[in-house]
Amino acid sequence: MKYIKELSGLLKHNIRDYGMYIALAVIMITFQILTDGLFLSSRNISNLLDSAGYIAVLAVGVMLVIVIRHIDLSIGFLAGFLGAIAAILLMQFNMPVFIVIPIILVMGIAAGSITGALVAKVGIPAFVATLAGWLIYRGALLMVTEKTGTINVDNDAFNAIGNGYIPAIAEVAGLHLLSLIIGGIGILFYIYSAISNRRNKIKYEFDVVSKPIFTLQLVFVSGIIAYITWLLAGYNGFSWTVIIIILVVLVYHFITTKTVLGRHIYAVGSNPEAAHLTGINVSKITFIVFGSMGMLSALSGILFTARLESATTTAGTLFELDAIAAAFVGGVSAAGGVGKVTGAVIGAIVMATLINGMNLLGVGIAPQYMIRGGVLAAAVIFDVMTRRQRA
């Protein structure tokens, strides 16, 4: 009884963090029942994660932008435009992939930095500055694709980024061995990090959950990682898209939780005036966050172009709205200062899960948009209610 009360209290006080995971589990179980077991098949889960990749990457960047109380509407067509530039460099200039990718990422950083300078230095509202970027990149995308309408990418190495899988060194009982090894390493890394974090909290006399509840957390999360690994290993293993998502999550999770820069980002989001008075360079933080957003937009464009194996005039359409929706569903607060990298990615997976499940059930496109809008509204309402309760 004592542990049940502790567990219920833990869920109640951390509902913002755990709510999205509970919602994702409920949605997946519902679709699994409605599709007669098709939804959680290895092939479908693999396709679902790959289709969520380019939005998940954008969601991580836009989450940080919202955390510092800004918005970026230009990221969709920036991704589409840079994806088209990548296709042009590959096909018309015959440049190798290992040169094209760094060039596109640097271009993304430059584009994001320009937006950041307009917002941080010139003082233009982010909504206006990024709306201007939306129009500029939309026009630029049309300009570079107007001759053919579509630029087909006939490059196996590049296309593998969006459609390929990590090599299979061997199979064990029909399962992809390298994927099993990566999943095992992921479980060990999670357990080590969780134990290390708990020890640090105890060292500095912070409150921690009891050992039985902590052990339950370790077993539960490890079980989820193991199950997803087993599913993917039963198909073609981890795709390169999933590996890229994992790397983005690890890098940005480290930056936001273990570095001074991360602490400054959340300080600026919580109270820009107070952050400025404590010596934090708010303009610099704004500049860095928008530069990071530009780089992730470039990466998103690469993933999308590689997945389609072509660049089109419509690439990037509504990407920004999907990414913003994913960030809010993932727990970022409209008031700023609150949000997690893992939450943004889970939010993207929730939205992709809804689309995938409704497609399997044959739901029309009109009801799909309405349902996705309802989910976004519910996420924001939940955020507002949570803040009111804490206040």
So what's the pLDDT on residue 92?
A: 92
Give CA–CA dist 202/223, Å, rounded: 26
So what's the pLDDT on residue 38?
A: 93
DSSP element (H, E) containing 150: strand 150-152
So what's the pLDDT on residue 2?
A: 63
User: What 3-state class would DSSP assign to 366?
Assistant: helix
So what's the pLDDT on residue 333?
A: 86
* Rounded mean pLDDT, 173-192: 92
Q: Which region among 122-131, 177-186, 208-217, 378-387 has the lowest average model confidence (pLDDT)?
A: 378-387
Q: What is the mean pLDDT of the chain?
A: 91
So what's the pLDDT on residue 353?
A: 94
pLDDT band of residue 6 (cuts 50, 70, 90) is low
So what's the pLDDT on residue 148?
A: 80
Strands 175-176 and 310-312: unpaired
Residue type, 278: T
* Rounded mean pLDDT, 174-196: 93
So what's the pLDDT on residue 108?
A: 98
* Rounded mean pLDDT, 111-116: 97
DSSP element (H, E) containing 175: strand 175-176
* Rounded mean pLDDT, 40-51: 94
So what's the pLDDT on residue 146?
A: 84
What percent of the chain stands above pLDDT 90? 74
Q: pLDDT of 252-291, one tens digit each?
A: 999 999 999 999 999 999 999 999 999 999 999 999 999 9
Whether the pLDDT of residue 124 is over 90: the answer is: yes
State the burial class of residue 15 (Cβ atoms within 10 Å of its Cβ: 0-12, 13-18, 19+).
Answer: middle
So what's the pLDDT on residue 291?
A: 97
pLDDT band of residue 390 (cuts 50, 70, 90) is low
Whether the pLDDT of residue 100 is over 90: the answer is: yes
What percent of the chain stands above pLDDT 70? 94
Q: pLDDT of 357-367, one tens digit each?
A: 999 999 999 99
Whether the pLDDT of residue 202 is over 60: the answer is: yes
Give CA–CA dist 319/73, Å, rounded: 9
- Report which of residues 201 and 382 the model is more confident about: 201
Q: pLDDT of 290-299, one tens digit each?
A: 999 999 999 9
HSE, CB side, 13 Å, CA atoms: give it for residue 287: 13
Q: pLDDT of 232-256, one tens digit each?
A: 999 999 999 999 999 999 999 999 9
So what's the pLDDT on residue 191?
A: 94
CA 279 from centre of chain: 31
pLDDT band of residue 16 (cuts 50, 70, 90) is low
* Rounded mean pLDDT, 89-110: 96
Give CA–CA dist 190/386, Å, rounded: 28
Residues 6+ apart with CB under 8 A from 118: 124, 129
Whether the pLDDT of residue 9 is over 60: the answer is: yes
pLDDT band of residue 12 (cuts 50, 70, 90) is low
Q: Which region among 7-16, 105-114, 322-331 has the lowest average model confidence (pLDDT)?
A: 7-16
Give CA–CA dist 383/219, Å, rounded: 29
So what's the pLDDT on residue 217?
A: 84
Give CA–CA dist 341/346, Å, rounded: 9
* Rounded mean pLDDT, 63-91: 96
Q: Which ranges of the chain would DSSP assign to H, the alpha helix?
A: 2-13, 15-34, 42-67, 75-91, 97-117, 126-145, 156-163, 177-203, 211-233, 240-258, 260-270, 272-277, 282-308, 319-329, 341-360, 365-390
pLDDT band of residue 56 (cuts 50, 70, 90) is very high
So what's the pLDDT on residue 387?
A: 66
